[in-house]
Amino acid sequence: MWLRDGLSVLSDKAYTMKMGQVRMPTRTFYMLNDPPLVRRVLAERADNYPKDEVLGFMLRRLMGDSIFTSNGATWKRQRGMMNPAFEAARVKDVFAQMLDATRDMAARLDTVADGRPYTIDVETTHVTADIILRTIFSSTMEQGAAERVFAAFNEFQEIAFAHGMLRIFRLPTFLSPRHARAGRAAREIRGLLEPMIRARLERIARGEAVPARDILAAMLEARDPTDGTPFSFEELYEQVAMLFLAGHETSASALGWTLYLIAKQPEVQARLLAEVTAVLGDRQPVFSDLRGLEYTRAVFREALRLYPPVAFIARTPIEGECLRGKDVKPGSIIFVSPWMLHRNRNHWDAPDEFDADRFETERGAEAARCAYLPFSMGPRVCLGAAFALQEATLILATLIRRYRFEAEPGHEPQPVARLTLRSANGIVLRLTRRNADAQAAAE
């Protein structure tokens, strides 16, 4: 069972404890579920708690030694070179690209929005992958490519998670089911991204005009702050793969779960529609409209609380330290779990229930300050948080104005936590077009 996902091993006690400990023959594991301890590991003493090497082992075939998996001097060098790339993805500058992608999303969904069952997380993967491709490459993603990425990454992360667990217990990875298929899944994704990078380099070599303001352009201009060298091609691919996968997979996961929660809560859907209608009227959204979609953002924030895309964060201490009276030795593994922290009975009222208004209460606001980390915290906090929030707000506003969502009778998504939090059996909903005025406004 522990090879399947991270949630299957949690007991009821996990949601009230402050710190758990499991001793194994190979390593000792600690699970932190206390906000001061979490802050100490992820923020205050972050240099002593780098990412565990198991994460790099799981992801190396897909994104190499990228900024997502690297540590120490390598990470600091990459961070210094990647800052301009993130600057190129400023939320206002990419709004038009996001809007174009949401229009294309609506055109695809119109073909299935007749009340039939539809696996919505396939589309959330498509639209978020399309947005990040437009941002990195100034290019779009076709339906076939999106479906291949969805299938390949789902397969890769299932196998990679099993490999990681075997690695933790010092067992050979060939014991994992479908061992050889992990490499094929990684090559499937690499086969999409690498030709796009090579095509840009070839156009530059021929002296042709290329986009000057996308992320790839910024990465090609990036230089090591100490010796002035650029990214090698392999380094460039690794960082692009990280941006593409981290930039769309987490958002796709969060949006899929958000739509599931909305479909289960008709009154929430009605409030969303009322807000979107009041803010946008019968016109297309502009960047300044996003500020007024407060309830839409609150719904997404609550979905992130219940279904954080990254459910477990692993760290390894370089130096020993005493945490809650336990002698935590170097080389042990410390898990911080947003899933557990967001459902901690000591900090949240009715933690398993959906309530987008909870952040307006005094207790909810306090819990949000200390026990809410959908984007992690500290020096390795997700730099794409503002990007993801804008993207989600725009997509949700577009979807709610155009469609009514209903849960599929008899279908209950089964969350599994591997590299990201996905549903093992998909998220199946029913979509129906709204009235003609709403349709015209969304076009």
272 has a pLDDT exceeding 90 = yes
pLDDT of residue 152: 80
Residue 359 to residue 366: CA distance in whole angstroms: 8
* DSSP bridge pairs for 333: 29
| Integer angstrom CA distances of residue 92 from 125, 250, 377 | 22, 21, 24
Task: Please check whether residue 123 lies inside any domain of the structure.
Answer: yes
The one-letter code for the residue type at 60 is R
Task: Please check whether residue 1 lies inside any domain of the structure.
Answer: no
Task: Please check whether residue 367 lies inside any domain of the structure.
Answer: yes
Burial class (CB in 10 A: 0-12, 13-18, 19+), 111: exposed
- Whose CA is closest to 245, among 385, 68, 379? 68
Quote the domain boundaries for residue 215. 7-442
Task: Please check whether residue 212 lies inside any domain of the structure.
Answer: yes
pLDDT digits (tens, 9 = 90+) for 29-72: 899 999 999 999 999 999 999 987 776 666 777 777 888 888 88
| Integer angstrom CA distances of residue 407 from 338, 353, 431, 432 | 26, 17, 9, 12
Question: What is the CATH classification number for the domain harbouring 230?
Answer: 1.10.630.10
As given in the structure block, the two tokens for residue 304 are 């992130």
Q: What is the mean pLDDT of the chain?
A: 88
Give every CB contact of residue 415 below 8 A, 6+ residues apart in sequence.
Answer: 7, 257, 307, 421, 422, 423, 424
Task: Please check whether residue 375 lies inside any domain of the structure.
Answer: yes
Task: Please check whether residue 87 lies inside any domain of the structure.
Answer: yes
Q: How confident is the model at residue 436 (pLDDT cuts 50, 70, 90)?
A: very low
Residue 266 to residue 430: CA distance in whole angstroms: 13
Residue 136 to residue 139: CA distance in whole angstroms: 8
Task: Please check whether residue 2 lies inside any domain of the structure.
Answer: no
pLDDT of residue 1: 41
Helix, strand, coil tally for the chain in percent (to 5) = 55, 10, 30
pLDDT digits (tens, 9 = 90+) for 364-415: 999 999 999 999 999 998 888 999 999 999 999 999 999 999 999 999 999 9
Q: What's the number of domains the chain is made of?
A: 1
Looking at residues 83-88, what average pLDDT do you find?
72
Residue 46 to residue 313: CA distance in whole angstroms: 13
3-state secondary structure of 414: coil
pLDDT of residue 8: 74
3-state secondary structure of 422: strand
As given in the structure block, the two tokens for residue 376 are 């992690």
Looking at residues 239-247, what average pLDDT do you find?
85
Q: Is 382 assigned a ligand-binding role in the annotation? A: yes
Buried b (16+ CB within 10 A) or exposed e, 267-277: ebbebbbebbb
Q: Please, are residues 249 and 420 in contact by the beta-carbon 8 Å criterion?
A: yes
pLDDT of residue 3: 45
Give every CB contact of residue 390 below 8 A, 6+ residues apart in sequence.
Answer: 91, 95, 98, 290
Task: Please check whether residue 22 lies inside any domain of the structure.
Answer: yes
pLDDT of residue 148: 82
Residue 310 to residue 315: CA distance in whole angstroms: 14
- Whose CA is closest to 238, among 205, 192, 190, 203? 190
438 has a pLDDT exceeding 60 = no
Q: Scanning the structure block, which residue is given the tokens 């979509």?
A: 431
